[in-house]
Amino acid sequence: MEKYRICGGRPLVGAVDISGAKNAVLPILAAVVLTEEVCCIENIPNIADVSTSLEILTALGATVRRLDAHTIEIDPGHLLTHVVPHDLSCHMRASYYFLGSLLGRFGVARTSMPGGCNFGVRPIDLHLKGFRALGAEVPGQLDNGMIEVKAESLVGNAVYLDQVSVGATVNIMLAAVRARGLTVIENAAKEPHIVDLANFLNSMGADVRGAGTDVIKIRGVEYLRGANYSIIPDQIEAGTYMAAAVATGGNVLVRGVIPKHLESITAKLEEMGAVIEELEDEDAVRVSCNKPLRHCTVKTMPHPGFPTDMQPQIAVLLSIAEGTSFLTENIWDNRFKYISELRRMGADVQVNGNTAVFQGVPRLSGAPVKADDLRAGAAMIIAALCASGVSTIDNICYIERGYEEIVEKLQALGADIERIYVPSSTSQAM
Ligand code: UD1
């Protein structure tokens, strides 16, 4: 069993390079099966969810070749099957993007209900509503845990999303790019990764317009060609290092970012007293903080609001900000499980429904804690970095699903963090 051991109290100082965005690369890897030609994708982060996506592509019959640490060539010309193996799809929520892309390529797709982080009910009814609108048959119930969608032919249509959903927007885009006629997605998600997917599809010859607004229009094309494409930087990884810099009273240059994507995060950190300088020419932001944090109110919203994927990380800052702070989660109904771990480190937090109320404490103290999910795990790291004493973090496999070389990147910023091996029989005691 592996854990992180962190000795807190050191300000993070230096520069960190941000990897390609997890939430962009996973839909884009699924989109590759929409062409029969070779695609070359650059700026791919080395994270576990990417490995799972590449295994899925290989299992489908694609040839996957790594050209360098962050560049991968994929030849999907000779796919053998439209079935995503259960043992791969159950590990990762984004496996459901292969439903849209395989449906677009073959008119049929089969996968199991997706896995991924558990923060409440994660329905896929809007994805299925979109597939139905395009003419696909969608079963009323699962077949042996698997879901199969199929269509004689896909025909463009209007789809209104009752709720803004990143996943449903992606899946409908994937199914619609090779459908006949025009698809209009209303109340679409506007996240940077939606725009990145649209740019990738357009570079393959698709006709997708309006990505980044709440109406996306997709005129289907018969044929998509191979493409070379570079993934955008990870907004959430950048936000995580920004929050870590602030929590530790450090001074960090966060490089390789698109500052515009960070605006909602920057605004909250500044409100709390951090100093953030956007260096547009260098694609970087400098983040520093040398005074006590001020309390504030944060509400998660679809983009361009404050991202739900930064909610646990900002919670650590609210734990140590002076006064009373409020954090409201508007996307998921059960994304506060990690609060009990923060309390073990001395945070004073009460959860009322979808709002957590923080009475700031001067300092957290190190403790053995666990990662409840990917972003909750990132929050535990930030908490441990700013706490006094030693913390250990369990369940790090969640963290490694979405953060490339997090230990090495933090060590380079001066953090006292290491990966330790603990025999599983003794791990409970730590
Ligand atoms: C969401 C976040 C995304 C984040 C990811 C993981 C938003 C809008 N999306 O994306 O930024 O990276 O979680 O934390 O902030 N829903 C339905 N039916 C559906 C699909 C979704 O009711 O078919 C609901 C969900 O229950 C949820 C909301 O819509 O309350 C947003 O879900 P969605 O955007 O699809 O989730 P993800 O794509 O996982």
pLDDT tens for each residue of 230-283: 999 999 999 999 999 999 999 999 999 999 999 999 999 999 999 999 997 889
Shortest-distance atom of ligand 1 to CA 189: 8
How much distance in Å is there from the Cα of 119 to the middle of ligand 1?
11
Do 264 and 215 reside in the same domain of the chain? no
Do 404 and 387 reside in the same domain of the chain? yes
Q: Domain of 122: which CATH number?
A: 3.65.10.10
Do 347 and 268 reside in the same domain of the chain? yes
Do 240 and 177 reside in the same domain of the chain? no
State the Cα–Cα distance between residues 210 and 185, nearest whole angstrom. Answer: 10
User: Token digits for 251?
Assistant: 């001074």
pTM, whole model, 2 decimals? 0.95
Do 129 and 48 reside in the same domain of the chain? yes
Do 172 and 294 reside in the same domain of the chain? no
Do 157 and 256 reside in the same domain of the chain? no
Residue 209 predicted with pLDDT over 50: yes
Please tell me which residue in 39, 90, 117, 296 is annotated as part of the active site: 117
The one-character DSSP state at 322 is: B
Instruction: Give residues (CB < 6 A) around ligand 1.
Output: 23, 122-127, 163-168, 189, 191, 302, 307-309, 331-332
How much distance in Å is there from the Cα of 165 to the middle of ligand 1?
5
Shortest-distance atom of ligand 1 to CA 333: 30
- Where is the domain boundary, 182, 204, 230? 230
Shortest-distance atom of ligand 1 to CA 167: 38
For the stretch 63-107, pLDDT in tens is 999 999 999 999 999 999 999 999 898 888 899 999 999 999 999
How much distance in Å is there from the Cα of 166 to the middle of ligand 1?
6
For the stretch 108-132, pLDDT in tens is 999 987 655 555 567 889 999 999 9
- Where is the domain boundary, 230, 251, 281? 230
How much distance in Å is there from the Cα of 102 to the middle of ligand 1?
21
User: Token digits for 206?
Assistant: 């698709």
State the Cα–Cα distance between residues 16 and 410, nearest whole angstrom. Answer: 8
Do 303 and 421 reside in the same domain of the chain? yes
Helix (H) or strand (E) holding 315: helix 311-319
Q: Nearest CA to 81 among 54, 113, 105?
A: 105
Whether 386 is catalytic: no
Give, for ligand 1, the residue of 132, 162, 166 to mutate: max count of ligand atoms closer than 8 Å to Cβ: 166
How much distance in Å is there from the Cα of 7 to the middle of ligand 1?
35
Q: What confidence score (pLDDT) does residue 352 get? A: 96
Tell me the residue range of the domain where 344 lies: 2-19+233-429
Do 256 and 370 reside in the same domain of the chain? yes
- Where is the domain boundary, 230, 257, 287? 230
pLDDT band (50, 70, 90) for residue 168: very high
Do 188 and 251 reside in the same domain of the chain? no
* The total number of structural domains that make up the chain: 2
Residue with tokens 């249509």: 157
